[in-house]
């Protein structure tokens, strides 16, 4: 299950690349992201699931998403090497603290206080590495305040609670 958390963090970036390409009028390029990922997914699943069962499936998804992000940055950047490198650097700045938290959770026998400390450390690393900025925090507060004024549920909570 913890490996699937890493996959989720990595997959979100891949989704962003697809939306960017479709929104810019290049749905064929978005489809070009899908084809190599299907092939990578089939190969890694065929290889890892028989060896590691559920863990192999989770690792296969994570590897597919990670390679998909590299392919996505390449497709979005086109011929711009600097844009390709900056997209991958931004991805790593966001992913590394989350992966560090994942490794810590897997290695420690943790209590609620230790978990809160690790989450705080991961958020601190996200801020330190530029994965999350003060501007991001302000945007979140503005969105929550707008929802509150309209009498809607906050965007980060479930409507069915």
User: Which residues, in sequence order, are CB contacts of 55 under 8 Å at separation 6+?
Assistant: 3
Q: How far is Cα 51 from Cα 102, in angstroms, rounded to an integer?
A: 22
Question: What is the average pLDDT score of the chain?
Answer: 77
In sign, the C-alpha dihedral spanning 120, 122, 125, 127 is negative
> For 79, which DSSP code?
T
Give me the pLDDT at residue 65, please.
84
Q: What is the per-residue pLDDT for 43?
A: 92
The pLDDT tens digits of the residues spanning 128-146 come to 877 777 787 788 788 778 7
| Predicted confidence band of residue 157 (pLDDT cuts 50, 70, 90) | very low
For the segment 99-124, the average pLDDT, to the nearest whole number, is 73
Model confidence at 160, in pLDDT bands (50, 70, 90)? very low
Give the other-Cβ count within 10 Å of 72's Cβ: 28
Average pLDDT over residues 88-96: 78
Residue that wins the pLDDT comparison between 44 and 147:
44
Give the model's pLDDT for residue 116. Answer: 78
| CB contact at 8 A, 11 and 72 | no
Q: How many residues does the chain have?
A: 161
Q: Residue 156: is its pLDDT beyond 60?
A: no
Please state, in angstroms and rounded to a whole number, the distance separating the CA atoms of residues 132 and 134: 7
pLDDT band at 159 (very low <50, low <70, confident <90, very high): very low
- 66-88, pLDDT tens digit by residue? 888 888 888 888 889 998 998 88
Give 154's DSSP letter. P
Are the C-beta atoms of 55 and 3 separated by less than 8 Å? Answer: yes
According to DSSP H, which parts of the chain are helical? 2-23, 27-77, 81-107, 112-129, 134-149
Residue whose entry in the numeric block shows the structure tokens 């979005």: 76
């Amino acid at each position: 299950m913890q490996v699937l958390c890493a996959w989720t963090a990595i997959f979100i970036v891949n989704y962003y690349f697809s939306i960017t390409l479709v929104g810019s009028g290049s749905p064929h390029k978005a489809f070009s992201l899908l084809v190599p990922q299907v092939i990578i997914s089939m190969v890694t699943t065929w290889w890892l699931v028989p060896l590691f069962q559920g863990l192999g499936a989770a690792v296969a998804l994570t590897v597919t998403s990670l390679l998909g992000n590299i392919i996505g940055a390449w497709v979005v950047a086109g011929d711009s090497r600097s844009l390709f490198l900056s997209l991958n650097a931004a991805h790593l700045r966001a992913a590394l603290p989350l992966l560090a938290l994942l490794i810590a959770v897997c290695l420690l026998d943790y209590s609620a206080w230790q978990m809160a400390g690790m989450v705080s450390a991961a958020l601190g690393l996200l801020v330190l590495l530029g994965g999350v900025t003060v501007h991001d925090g302000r945007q979140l507060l503005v969105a929550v305040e707008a929802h509150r004024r309209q009498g809607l549920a906050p965007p980060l909570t479930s409507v069915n609670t």
